Amino acid sequence: MNKGMVILIVSVLSLLFACNAGENNETQTNTVTPINIEKGTDDINGTLSKQATAILNKKNDFLSSYKILESENELIIAIKVDFFQQFTEQKIEKKLEKELKEKLHTKKIKVSSDEKIYIEISKLENNEFTNTEKKKKFTKLKKLMKDNA
């Protein structure tokens, strides 16, 4: 049974390491196009998003990727941090939100490290939704972020 245990452990661990290695190719270099609900994804005229992008692109040391959703001059930003920084994910989130609010001179910015928000914004990127549906999603996301009990 001892040998069997060793084989089991080794195979499980190597499976996990394999998955881990595969994922690393995904870390985006932050040339993400922010999604602006009003004007469609091609036209990044939302200057808020542009400014936010400029700021966030400099945070490569702990930010592994992010997604921006803009609607009526409000921003929702979903961030993903590097693996080992995940212990301090929430502090990073709060710090970023404060910094963005100061630099962009608006209070209508919400940053979330919650993966659900990231997933939902990624779904919107498929562009199969109408504008009204996207706006509904926006308000739903805001509600989800508040619900964090």
Rule CB under 8 A: which residues touch other proteins?
2, 5, 8-9, 12, 16-17, 19-20, 23, 83, 86-90, 113-117, 119, 140, 144-145, 147-149
Residue nearer to other proteins on the CB measure, 44 or 145: 145
129 secondary structure, DSSP code: S
Residue 48 Cβ vs other proteins, minimum distance, rounded to whole Å: 24
Residues 6+ apart with CB under 8 A from 36: 43, 44, 45, 46, 49, 70, 71
Spatial strand order of the sheet with 74-81 comes to: 35-36, 63-71, 74-81, 109-112
Q: How far apart are CA 128 and CA 1, in angstroms?
A: 54
70 Rama class: left (phi>0) / alpha (psi -120 to 50) / beta: beta
Residue 95 Cβ vs other proteins, minimum distance, rounded to whole Å: 15
Residue nearer to other proteins on the CB measure, 43 or 147: 147
Residue 144 Cβ vs other proteins, minimum distance, rounded to whole Å: 6
Q: How far apart are CA 92 and CA 22, in angstroms?
A: 26
Residue 110 Cβ vs other proteins, minimum distance, rounded to whole Å: 13
Residue nearer to other proteins on the CB measure, 58 or 146: 146
Residue nearer to other proteins on the CB measure, 98 or 140: 140
